[in-house]
Structure 1
Amino acid sequence: MALKAVLGAGFVAALLALLSCAALADDAPRLSELSPDGKDACFGRVYDAAHLKAHPRQKVARIFFYYGHDPVSRPNEEPAPGSDTYNAFMTTTVRGASKPEWAGGWCNRQDPNDKSSGIHCGMDCDRTLASLKVDDKGRLTISDVQPDLYLDAGSEEELGTAEYNKQALGKEDDGFLLDPMPSATCKAEFARIDPIDPALGAPLRERLKPDQAFCYGHDYDDAHMAGHTGQLTQSIRVFRGPVELASFARDGDASNWPNGADIAVSVTTRQKSGKVTQTYSCQGEADQWRCVASAKMSDFSCDITQKEIFLRRGADGTMMLANPNSGLPVVDLCSKAADGKTKSDDKVYRLQPMPQSACAP
């Protein structure tokens, strides 16, 4: 069993920050000076060697600003957004970096009643993305770019001055003048951030339909178990059967799939001869399903709603299951053994598609 965590700590931190600092962007008006034709707008600049040599304190070698619909998120596990809001996305690549960093926000005129006034673009947690001006040639000037644009608040104290200066933008990374470009140019630039692995194929929410039963699993043979003495799991199944399908048909919303989808997980372990089954309720988050343990099956002596697992598409039609914090019933979910991070070698599973009969009760 691979030990590499499926769920990145960075994603969790970013998600928690977003939830704690959420601000409403849906009311941001569409700005005609950025998008005169009402379409997504792209601005960009790639600095040549001569410019960078003449500006040694400028770290940014490439910068693109996109105003419109999200160019960053690849097809993922979240339901399609219902909002048609225009938002702002900026990406920069510093000297020597192999791929860009990015930040997103929303923009408003500084004076709502004056179309000639400057434009302020904000971010979550009341931070500034940039200030904008469009000249009579359609070029975009970007200013007020903060050195800690891609860093957490208070990061200078946390990182120390030397490391902060290394990770922050440079002294001259401001006052950028960008040319209008085709929207496809910005989309291609944002695609460099996290290239799609074609081996992964379609996301789970497309592979697995709301009214479709499925079964994934893995059985570990004696040789594997002898070589992995820290692993408790002998067999595992992840499935949706008649009970889960009926539950979603009754209470679910197919347009919001996979949010609200119930799944069941059955495991057999070294310690117990019988099979243990636990149900979970799932939500789409970025490129994975976050599935929280449900108390539907029986009464528990503890609150199991904090017990969670994560599903992600794997290569060649497989499914990856991550169990970073003792969310699987390989141990009693209410025992001390289930506190904190998974202590056994039962953290990540690669599951193969199986016939539905392999997941029968």
Structure 2
Amino acid sequence: MVTSRKIATASAGIVGALFLAGTVYADEPRILKELSPDGGSACFGRVYDASHLKAHPHQKVARIFFYHGRDPVSRPSEDPYDGVGSAGYNGFMATTARGAPKPEWVGGWCNASGEGGDKSSIHCGMECDRTMAELSLDAAGRLKVDAFDRDIYLDIGAEDELGKVEYERQALGTDDNGFLLERRPVADCKAEFARIDPVNPALGDPLRVRLKPDQPFCFGRDYSAEHLASHPDQLTQTIRVFRSKTELASFAAKGTISDWPNGADLVVTMISRKGAAKATQTYSCQGEADQWRCAAIAAPDGTSCDLSEKEIYLRRGANGTMMLANPKDSLPLTDLCQANGQTKSDDRVFRLEAMPQSACAR
């Protein structure tokens, strides 16, 4: 699916899901008067009953909702631009197939596309010059959804790549087009999109709220012999992530409180189970959706090299923990200027506990 952005929470030693990077931020979404005369958000939807689905065996979509407005899916809680995300999309479609536990969704840019004075037709495009849908309103104010491709949730060229049988299983049905949706309260769409990725109350406040720009912090973990015995490919024995007086002074000199956590420096220290000396690396962070994206800013040995791709990602964990992800070989286990590609060890995702500042001495 082209719109998946979330990760699964995991501890060190689980190599399944990595933190995502590259989120794009943009201006306020464009509001179309054709869909929302009052300039606010607009919602259209339809839930098909059993009799309709029985009469249309080639229709897989059991529920369909279209939302026009700000992103109803992402919760960009770590950046200072609250509510902005999804590259300025102003149209979002969520469909739930028969028997599916939750919706799939796509987002894109919608603009009136009628010729001359006819503005009744609205084209919604997606990334890679793809079409999300062609929209129009009928005389009763219902939204007609056309040009809704069967492979809208699949990658370009999926039919050739997957083969006919698998493509038919994953694609929408041959009768999944020409939907007619009723105008509904905005709350209905928000509730529908909330089914995609429900909020986990155990996560609590985002890191930018938990961690103050003028206060130090220390998170870490010391792995037991039992844990290391059960994770033979994990090199990390001790890990710390912290901000001390040095990092606080750096932010005070160059940072802006309103942009927190953008520009915040932090330090990662690690001790390998192989008995090497403590390794230390400083990172500079930016808030990105619901994570901090932190790039290495200085090689520990003073060697000059391009560190722009040597990144780690921080995200709030359940019950006050912090998740640290190392999708590439960018933790200070080796010389960052020598490390390339995916890490070959089992040191990708760590669940860290809050510790006293004294535990994070350099």
Q: State the TM-score, normalizing by the size of structure 2.
A: 0.88
Residue 44 of structure 1 corresponds to which residue in structure 2?
A: 45
In structure 2, the gaps of 5 or more residues are 1-10
Q: Distance in 1 between matches of 2:154 and 2:89?
A: 24
Residue 357 of structure 1 corresponds to which residue in structure 2?
A: 358
Q: Distance in 1 between matches of 2:287 and 2:121?
A: 37
Residue 256 of structure 2 corresponds to which residue in structure 1?
A: 253
State the 1:290 CA deviation: 2.0
**SS of aligned partner of 1:281:** strand
Residue 78 of structure 1 corresponds to which residue in structure 2?
A: 79
State the 1:348 CA deviation: 2.0
In structure 1, the gaps of 5 or more residues are none
- Structure 1 residue ranges (4+ consecutive) displaced by more than 6 angstroms after TM superposition: 82-86
- The aligned length equals 350
Residue 169 of structure 2 corresponds to which residue in structure 1?
A: 166
**SS of aligned partner of 2:329:** coil
Contact kept in structure 1, 2:76 and 2:288, CA below 8 Å: no
State the 1:134 CA deviation: 1.3
Q: Which amino acid aligns with 1:288?
A: Q
**Change beyond 3 A, Cα 1:183–1:215:** same
Q: Distance in 2 between matches of 1:104 and 1:60?
A: 17
Contact kept in structure 2, 1:5 and 1:322, CA below 8 Å: no
Residue 3 of structure 2 corresponds to which residue in structure 1?
A: none
Question: CA RMSD for the aligned pairs?
Answer: 2.6
CA offsets per residue over residues 82-108 of structure 1, 9 Å max, x none?
869671111000111110000111211
**Higher alpha-carbon deviation: 233-242 or 95-104:** 233-242
Q: Distance in 1 between matches of 2:304 and 2:40?
A: 55
Q: Which amino acid aligns with 1:48?
A: D
State the 1:291 CA deviation: 1.7
Q: Which amino acid aligns with 2:95?
A: T
Contact kept in structure 2, 1:30 and 1:86, CA below 8 Å: no
**SS of aligned partner of 2:67:** strand
Percentage of identical aligned residues = 61
Contact kept in structure 2, 1:131 and 1:142, CA below 8 Å: yes
Q: State the TM-score, normalizing by the size of structure 1.
A: 0.88
Of residues 4, 13, 28, the one that matches 1:3 is: 13
Contact kept in structure 1, 2:12 and 2:347, CA below 8 Å: no
Residue 334 (structure 2) pairs with residue 344 (structure 1): no
Residue 292 of structure 1 corresponds to which residue in structure 2?
A: 295
State the 1:270 CA deviation: 2.6
**Change beyond 3 A, Cα 1:331–1:116:** closer
State the 1:45 CA deviation: 0.1
**Change beyond 3 A, Cα 1:325–1:205:** same
CA offsets per residue over residues 253-295 of structure 1, 9 Å max, x none?
3333323221100111233453221011222333322222222
CA offsets per residue over residues 27-55 of structure 1, 9 Å max, x none?
97532121112221110000011111111
Residue 186 of structure 1 corresponds to which residue in structure 2?
A: 189
Of residues 273, 277, 285, the one that matches 1:274 is: 277
Residue 102 of structure 1 corresponds to which residue in structure 2?
A: 105
Of residues 230, 241, 245, the one that matches 2:233 is: 230
Residue 6 of structure 2 corresponds to which residue in structure 1?
A: none
CA offsets per residue over residues 211-230 of structure 1, 9 Å max, x none?
23211011223444445443
State the 1:301 CA deviation: 5.5
Q: Which amino acid aligns with 2:290?
A: D
State the 1:242 CA deviation: 1.8
